């Protein structure tokens, strides 16, 4: 009877050891899976951040080009106005010189 009890205790201890070993293995698997998921999420977050930064940079460049084009158009209009004014003044100056010579 004592031998039976001892055998039962030893079997129970072996079963407990197996359960502990399985739990430790399961814990390691959970930790590894969590690390892998964290790494994947981190990489996805970084990828999305880089994509958003690239899109923001493109929008800024496009806005800059638009401003540049508007400034260029305004400058061109001002140049044309100054040329027209210079031509008008040149005509008046030529007329004045001709009238003075005559």
Instruction: State how far the Cα of 19 lies from the Cα of 11, in Å rounded to an integer.
Output: 12
Q: What is the mean pLDDT of the chain?
A: 89
The distance from CA 67 to its chain's CA centroid, rounded to whole angstroms, is 23
Which has the higher per-residue pLDDT, 68 or 12? 12
Q: Give the tokens for residue 24.
A: 């430790």
Is residue 86 in some structural domain?
Answer: no
Is residue 85 in some structural domain?
Answer: no
Is residue 20 in some structural domain?
Answer: yes
Q: How many domains does the chain have?
A: 1
- Full-model pTM: 0.53
Is residue 64 in some structural domain?
Answer: yes
Q: Give the tokens for residue 13.
A: 């201890």
Instruction: State how far the Cα of 78 lies from the Cα of 68, in Å rounded to an integer.
Output: 15
Q: Say if residue 58 is exposed, middle or buried (CB neighbours under 10 Å; 0-12, 13-18, 19+).
A: exposed
Residue 101 pLDDT exceeds 80: no
Angle, CA 48 vertex, CA 45 and CA 51 arms, to 5°: 150
Per-residue confidence (pLDDT) for residue 69, from 0 to 100: 85
Per-residue confidence (pLDDT) for residue 54, from 0 to 100: 93
Per-residue confidence (pLDDT) for residue 1, from 0 to 100: 80
Is residue 84 in some structural domain?
Answer: no
Per-residue confidence (pLDDT) for residue 77, from 0 to 100: 92
Owning domain of residue 27: 1-73
Q: What does the pLDDT look like over 51-92, one tens digit per residue?
A: 999 999 998 888 878 788 888 888 999 999 999 988 888 888
Is residue 54 in some structural domain?
Answer: yes
Torsion angle of alpha carbons 79, 81, 84, 87, nearest 10°? -60
Residue 26 pLDDT exceeds 80: yes
Per-residue confidence (pLDDT) for residue 68, from 0 to 100: 84
């Amino acid at each position: 009877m004592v031998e039976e009890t001892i055998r039962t205790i030893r079997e129970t201890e072996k079963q407990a050891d197996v359960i502990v070993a399985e739990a430790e293995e399961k814990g390691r698997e959970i930790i590894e899976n969590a690390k892998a998921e964290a790494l994947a999420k981190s990489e996805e977050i970084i990828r999305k951040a880089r994509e958003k930064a690239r899109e923001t940079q493109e929008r800024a460049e496009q806005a800059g080009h638009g401003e540049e084009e508007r400034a260029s158009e305004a400058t061109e209009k001002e140049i044309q106005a100054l040329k027209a004014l210079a031509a008008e003044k040149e005509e008046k100056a030529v007329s004045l010189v001709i009238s003075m010579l005559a």
